[in-house]
Amino acid sequence: LSFNMYFFQKASSRTSRPDVLRDGSEKKADGLAPASTLSNPVSTPTSTDPFPHKKVMRAKYIDQSKLKTSLDSIYGEGNYLVKERANRYIIMLPTPMKDGDLNRLEQRVRLHYND
């Protein structure tokens, strides 16, 4: 049984892209603005996302139910969202955090969490 390994290879050359020239600059499409002048929709929060502001919590929490109870007491149930990625929790809020807010939040969570 044999198969072609070509399907598993990742394209590593920028010149394999049709929109990139050999010198590394991008080719301008006819009638369109250069790619560098277009706005990046990923960087701006969308109005449909109720929790566009994200912060990675530095502390690790083992008991998810205790973490949820702590955050519910601080923000109120349904006023935040938490995602887990690589054993880290990302808190998502409707408004941005100010300087020092993450430290204060983690201290308050730790107090509730340890009870």
Domain ranges of the chain: 53-114
Of 48, 49, 63, nearest to 93 (Cα)?
Answer: 49
- Decide: pTM greater than 0.75: no
Strand order in the sheet with 88-93: 53-56, 88-93, 81-85
For every residue of 21-62, DSSP letters joined together read -TTSPBPPPTTS--GGGS--TTTSPPTT-S--EEEE-SS--S
pLDDT at position 77, please? 93
Tens-digit pLDDT string for the chain (115 aa): 343 333 333 444 444 555 555 555 555 555 555 555 444 444 455 568 889 999 999 988 888 889 999 999 999 999 999 999 988 999 999 999 998 999 999 998 988 888 7
pLDDT at position 22, please? 55
Which class does domain 53-114 fall in?
alpha beta
pLDDT at position 86, please? 87
